Chains A and B, each alone.
Chain A
């Protein structure tokens, strides 16, 4: 069925033709042409709300309409480049961060951007803690203006990694507009006033139209005049739309993509890995608390097979250090990993020998038992809504059965999976952390005891309930340094914890889904030029793409 779809002769569709023929909105930047259509299944129609502090709306306004102080690129190990701030520096034992705000930037209502707007924006997050979705005020103690164009942020403790949240994840708003809003928490912001390259020119439940800002502070940018963001209700609809050449920027999971997009040779794809999909092992379980069992499982799982069968190979196999490669390859301590059976390369014989050495004996059905006769038989909690995860876990089940460990998948509804994972009601669980612009962020999510919670209480991350004062000290030390050398040394030690203690078993790497039409636009990010995370649902990264794209003549 899907394959047949691609045999259709591709001609400019009526929809696209209509879009091309539509008259330009009043005032667009000179030289900007073309219509770019985003193809990202959101499973909903648009609310047409653009409040940059509301998690439901932020991905439609941060980056292209509202802009942050700096851009932190995950695909280049957190390399930061100027955006609304021209420069910044840490001082005072990494407890003071000073930004210099760009001059000559105007909001779309004509107001100039000033340091006072930046101070006001952060003050807003302090006054309304529900707007502070990244909890920056858990580490900040004050934000003040210094001179005409500087903003000084002071911290309670050294918190260098928070630079990412402060500089990259918060859009700066116009004080003159927002100070008149009575309740910023519920403010829908239907007509957002930002400094960005685009304005919202029209929004209906079916589509958002972004129009180039004619007075954008970067002269000559953006090059693309109109960006359409239609609302796709299902994955299949969005995939078909892309396969028919009706959209140019895809952020879709497409099974058998090379066959599916065979009719569109100009559409390329790239899936850069950004975090791990792992087996979380409940360390409060009396049997799983035994490190031998965890190590044996890590050897017994064929990660490559889980990737090939479960994920069509689009999500590459992970490694036990938790370092996502190739994205963060520079952080991987390969020699250290090699000491652990070549980074826990697939080795069922070794798994069996570890279990035997640890005193487990095979029971009558071939399943290992504890000396007291309890079988190594566990349930694994999984999100039944992700068919790829279900397939991957089923390969893991076979691999573990082969070494005498039995696991039973529980493929439950999304909400049940999430609740049980967060509250620790599982033995094994298949899940994924969000990661961040360097491996530190994911390792911290996985291992920092402050992120965890007792069984029964929802934990923000660290769902396996790992706790070690030494690891906590390492993580805190990382927060106090800006030295790359020290940062690498700390991450190396965290990798060693992953290898030695096996608190979680990374299986495959979660990726950014990205398809791009090279026949109509140039300037897409590629493996050789990974200037931003490419999927349209990444903010503020998608704003970077819109600044780089150029219509092809």
Chain B
């Protein structure tokens, strides 16, 4: 219990520091959003418009920083960040984020879970049958794939399956002429559009899980209690799963919880390459366009997600592994 409380206290402190940094950082950047929006017109509007845009965005009026900070904290509590300045001018930030969130959760979230499940499974079996066909094939292949830049792999897949073979759609998250609905046709279309980006993410992230799981397994398999279980004549799959894997998976679980937290950050390059409008792409746009409200909402979302994930991972590890509770 004391352990959990200490973790929660640490969580609150980190959260406050992150929130404050989140407030300060955008304000230390040069330029202002009115100038940024002019850049999007490829020289189509006159510089005289800067003044007008500043008025529209209210960026000319300088508020006192303390009042800004207090207003900021109040808005954070209610997730009210006002309208987006430049990325989606005028739209409420919460709305913009909510539009992008399902796409990222669907694409990056599902592939993260899949990559973890598959990678861990392959790692377990590979280590159990060390030197077997699976073990000599899978880890090297996927470890090599995991160091391939995933946006490059994405481009190659677009070229092969999209441009040359015309098998799969490769841009947008759905056929843009369709109206979003919950009909099977639309859902099928969304899934079809998710295949290439999802597959790219999957095969480039799975290697890490395989490698760590396999290594943990091998160390665990040398433990006395595993030998003991074998000596007792337990069936192989019970020894593998209940005795070895159960202990070996602990470090991987922590990693998994943390990577779930990072899901909200999106996969910036994948979303760019596949013209997929998720959170990662939104974040990049917000930074490029100096869209402070949107930036802050996204950074906040990501920070909180990662902090919560770390907290959950800590607590989960403590519950699964009594040894960690006594530490410190």
Q: List 20 A-B contacts (CB under 8 A).
A: A7-B164, A11-B166, A44-B40, A45-B99, A54-B56, A54-B89, A55-B37, A55-B49, A133-B45, A185-B56, A228-B176, A230-B176, A240-B171, A414-B31, A415-B36, A419-B32, A434-B43, A435-B43, A460-B50, A461-B47
Residues on A with beta carbons closer than 8 Å to the beta carbon of B50: 422, 458, 460
How close is B41's CB to chain A, nearest CB, in angstroms?
Answer: 7
Inter-chain CA distance A398–B155, complex, in Å, is: 36
The reply on B242 being an interface residue by CB < 8 A is no
Q: Is the CB of B30 within 8 A of A244?
A: no
How close is B184's CB to chain A, nearest CB, in angstroms?
Answer: 16
Residues on B with beta carbons closer than 8 Å to the beta carbon of A338: none
Residues on A with beta carbons closer than 8 Å to the beta carbon of B40: 42-44
Residues on B with beta carbons closer than 8 Å to the beta carbon of A209: 177
Q: Is the CB of A13 within 8 A of B43?
A: no
Q: Is the CB of A538 within 8 A of B44?
A: yes
Given contacts A14-B166, A535-B42, 11 further A-B contacts (CB under 8 A): A1-B155, A49-B89, A56-B86, A133-B45, A233-B285, A237-B171, A413-B30, A414-B288, A418-B39, A460-B50, A537-B44
Binds B, one of A199-207, A300-308, A520-528: A199-207
Minimum CB distance partner of B282 in chain A: A45
Q: Is the CB of B31 within 8 A of A240?
A: no
Q: Is the CB of A19 within 8 A of B177?
A: yes
The reply on A340 being an interface residue by CB < 8 A is no
Interface size class of B (residues with CB under 8 A): 35 or more
Minimum CB distance partner of A241 in chain B: B171
The reply on B90 being an interface residue by CB < 8 A is yes
Inter-chain CA distance A240–B44, complex, in Å, is: 25
Select which of A11, A133, A206 is within 8 A of B173 by beta carbon: A206
Q: Is the CB of A422 within 8 A of B35?
A: yes
Inter-chain CA distance A187–B51, complex, in Å, is: 19
Inter-chain CA distance A206–B285, complex, in Å, is: 15
Inter-chain CA distance A539–B41, complex, in Å, is: 11
Residues of chain A at the chain B interface (Cβ within 8 Å): 1, 4-5, 7-9, 11, 13-15, 18-19, 22, 42-45, 47, 49, 54-57, 59, 129-130, 132-135, 185-186, 188, 202, 204-207, 209, 228, 230-234, 236-237, 240-241, 244, 275, 413-416, 418-419, 422, 432-435, 445, 458-461, 510, 535, 537-539
Q: Is the CB of A205 within 8 A of B99?
A: yes
The reply on B321 being an interface residue by CB < 8 A is no
The reply on B259 being an interface residue by CB < 8 A is no
Q: Is the CB of A207 within 8 A of B44?
A: no
Select which of B52, B99, B164, B172 is within 8 A of A133 by beta carbon: B52
Residues on A with beta carbons closer than 8 Å to the beta carbon of B155: 1
Select which of B169, B174, B273 is within 8 A of A14 by beta carbon: B169
How close is A302's CB to chain B, nearest CB, in angstroms?
Answer: 24
Q: A4 with B31: in contact, given A132-B52, A414-B36 (CB under 8 Å)?
A: no
Q: Is the CB of B30 within 8 A of A419?
A: yes
The reply on B251 being an interface residue by CB < 8 A is no
Q: Is the CB of A18 within 8 A of B88?
A: no
Minimum CB distance partner of B91 in chain A: A47
The reply on B21 being an interface residue by CB < 8 A is no
Inter-chain CA distance A207–B46, complex, in Å, is: 27
Q: A460 with B90: in contact, given A14-B169, A18-B175 (CB under 8 Å)?
A: no
Inter-chain CA distance A188–B89, complex, in Å, is: 10
Q: Is the CB of A55 within 8 A of B173?
A: no
Residues on B with beta carbons closer than 8 Å to the beta carbon of A228: 176-177
Select which of A5, A59, A188 is within 8 A of B159 by beta carbon: A5
Residues on A with beta carbons closer than 8 Å to the beta carbon of B38: 418
Minimum CB distance partner of B173 in chain A: A206
Select which of B31, B99, B272 is within 8 A of A416 by beta carbon: B31
Q: Is the CB of A418 within 8 A of B35?
A: yes
Q: Is the CB of A460 within 8 A of B166?
A: no
Residues on B with beta carbons closer than 8 Å to the beta carbon of A202: 179
Select which of A19, A43, A44, A206 is within 8 A of B174 by beta carbon: A206
Q: A237 with B275: in contact, given A18-B175, A56-B37 (CB under 8 Å)?
A: yes
Interface residues of B in 1-57 (CB under 8 A from A): 29-32, 35-53, 55-56
The reply on B180 being an interface residue by CB < 8 A is yes
Residues on A with beta carbons closer than 8 Å to the beta carbon of B134: none
Q: Is the CB of B39 within 8 A of A434?
A: no
Select which of A9, A56, A205 is within 8 A of B89 by beta carbon: A56
Q: A206 with B163: in contact, given A230-B172, A460-B47 (CB under 8 Å)?
A: no
Interface residues of B in 223-239 (CB under 8 A from A): none
Residues on B with beta carbons closer than 8 Å to the beta carbon of A130: 52, 55-56
Residues of chain B at the chain A interface (Cβ within 8 Å): 29-32, 35-53, 55-56, 86-91, 99, 155, 158-159, 163-164, 166, 169, 171-180, 271-273, 275, 277, 281, 285, 288, 290
Residues on A with beta carbons closer than 8 Å to the beta carbon of B285: 43-44, 233
Residues on A with beta carbons closer than 8 Å to the beta carbon of B277: 45, 205-206, 231, 233
Inter-chain CA distance A5–B29, complex, in Å, is: 39
Residues on A with beta carbons closer than 8 Å to the beta carbon of B49: 55, 133-134
How close is A133's CB to chain B, nearest CB, in angstroms?
Answer: 5
Minimum CB distance partner of B167 in chain A: A14
Q: Is the CB of B176 within 8 A of A45?
A: no
Q: Is the CB of A234 within 8 A of B275?
A: yes
Inter-chain CA distance A54–B86, complex, in Å, is: 12
Inter-chain CA distance A549–B82, complex, in Å, is: 41
Q: Which of B47, B51, B87, B277 has the most CB of A within 10 A?
A: B47
Residues on A with beta carbons closer than 8 Å to the beta carbon of B169: 14-15
Inter-chain CA distance A1–B158, complex, in Å, is: 11
Q: Is the CB of A415 within 8 A of B29?
A: yes
How close is B48's CB to chain A, nearest CB, in angstroms?
Answer: 5
Minimum CB distance partner of A462 in chain B: B47
Inter-chain CA distance A414–B56, complex, in Å, is: 21
Inter-chain CA distance A416–B36, complex, in Å, is: 10
How close is B86's CB to chain A, nearest CB, in angstroms?
Answer: 8
Minimum CB distance partner of B49 in chain A: A133
Inter-chain CA distance A355–B92, complex, in Å, is: 58
How close is B170's CB to chain A, nearest CB, in angstroms?
Answer: 8
Select which of A14, A59, A188 is within 8 A of B44 by beta carbon: A59
Inter-chain CA distance A110–B137, complex, in Å, is: 71
Residues on B with beta carbons closer than 8 Å to the beta carbon of A237: 171, 272-273, 275
Minimum CB distance partner of B174 in chain A: A206
Q: A44 with B87: in contact, given A205-B277, A537-B41 (CB under 8 Å)?
A: yes
How close is B217's CB to chain A, nearest CB, in angstroms?
Answer: 40
Q: Is the CB of A22 within 8 A of B177?
A: yes
Residues on B with beta carbons closer than 8 Å to the beta carbon of A419: 30-32, 35
How close is B187's CB to chain A, nearest CB, in angstroms?
Answer: 16
Inter-chain CA distance A204–B87, complex, in Å, is: 15
Q: Is the CB of A434 within 8 A of B176?
A: no
Inter-chain CA distance A236–B152, complex, in Å, is: 13
Inter-chain CA distance A1–B273, complex, in Å, is: 14
How close is A264's CB to chain B, nearest CB, in angstroms?
Answer: 13
Minimum CB distance partner of A187 in chain B: B90
Inter-chain CA distance A206–B178, complex, in Å, is: 10
Inter-chain CA distance A44–B40, complex, in Å, is: 10
Minimum CB distance partner of A226 in chain B: B177
Inter-chain CA distance A445–B49, complex, in Å, is: 13
How close is A241's CB to chain B, nearest CB, in angstroms?
Answer: 6
